[in-house]
Amino acid sequence: MASLRVALIGYGLAGRFFHAPLIAATEGMAVATVVTSDADRRAQVEREHPGARVVATAAELWQRPAHDLVVVASPNATHAPLALEAIAHGTAVVVDKPLAVSAADAEAVVHRAERAGVLLTVFQNRRWDSDHLTLMRLLSEGQIGEVLRYESRFERWRPTADPAEWRSVAPEEGGGQLLDLGAHLVDQAIVLFGPVTHVYAEIASVRGLAADDDAFVALRHAGGTISHLRASAVTAAPGPRLRVLGTKAAYVTIGLDSQEAELRAGRRPDTEPAWGSEPKSAWGHLRTGEEAVVVPSERGAWPRFYELLGAARRDGTPPPVDPHDAVQTLSIIELARHSAATRQVLSTRTAA
Q: Is residue 216 part of a domain?
A: yes
- The reply to whether 136 and 156 lie within a common domain is yes
| Strand ranges across the sheet with 53-55 | 53-55, 29-35, 4-9, 69-72, 92-96, 120-123
- What residue ranges in the chain does DSSP mark as E strands? 4-9, 29-35, 53-55, 69-72, 92-96, 120-123, 147-155, 196-204, 214-221, 226-232, 242-246, 250-253, 284-288, 291-295
CATH of the domain at 289: 3.30.360.10
- The reply to whether 202 and 238 lie within a common domain is yes
Residue 346 has a pLDDT of 56
Q: Is residue 30 part of a domain?
A: yes
Residue 347 has a pLDDT of 60
Give the model confidence (pLDDT) of 239-251 as tens digits. 999 999 999 999 9
Q: Is residue 106 part of a domain?
A: yes
- The reply to whether 280 and 164 lie within a common domain is yes
Q: Is residue 323 part of a domain?
A: no
- The reply to whether 104 and 152 lie within a common domain is no
The alpha carbons of the chain give a radius of gyration, in whole angstroms, of 20
Give the up-direction half-sphere exposure of residue 318: CA atoms within 13 A in the CB hemisphere.
5
For residue 211, give its domain range.
127-301
How far is residue 11's CA from residue 182's CA, in Å, rounded to a whole number? 22
How far is residue 11's CA from residue 285's CA, in Å, rounded to a whole number? 38
Residues 78, 72 contacting (CB under 8 angstroms): yes
pTM of the predicted model, to two decimals?
0.94
Q: Is residue 345 part of a domain?
A: no
How far is residue 195's CA from residue 223's CA, in Å, rounded to a whole number? 8
CATH of the domain at 73: 3.40.50.720
Residue 65 has a pLDDT of 78
**Cα-based distances in Å from 190 to 44, 74, 121, 182, 226:** 37, 25, 17, 12, 11
Residue 54 has a pLDDT of 96
Give the model confidence (pLDDT) of 59-69 as tens digits. 999 987 789 99
- The reply to whether 169 and 282 lie within a common domain is yes
- For the chain, which ranges sit under pLDDT 70? 1, 343-352
Residue 350 has a pLDDT of 55
How far is residue 105's CA from residue 151's CA, in Å, rounded to a whole number? 29
**Cα-based distances in Å from 48 to 35, 42, 64:** 14, 10, 21
- The reply to whether 67 and 158 lie within a common domain is no
- The reply to whether 163 and 292 lie within a common domain is yes
Number of domains in the chain: 2
Beta-strand relationship, 250-253 and 284-288: antiparallel
Q: Is residue 349 part of a domain?
A: no
For residue 132, give every residue at least 6 positions away whose Cβ sits within 8 Å of its Cβ, in sequence order, or none.
Answer: 126, 188, 191, 192, 257
Residue 17 has a pLDDT of 97
Q: Is residue 295 part of a domain?
A: yes
Q: Is residue 59 part of a domain?
A: yes
- The reply to whether 256 and 149 lie within a common domain is yes
- The reply to whether 100 and 152 lie within a common domain is no
Residues 168, 210 contacting (CB under 8 angstroms): yes
Residue 210 has a pLDDT of 92
Residue 164 has a pLDDT of 78
- The reply to whether 131 and 259 lie within a common domain is yes
- The reply to whether 201 and 284 lie within a common domain is yes
Residue 245 has a pLDDT of 98
- The reply to whether 83 and 18 lie within a common domain is yes
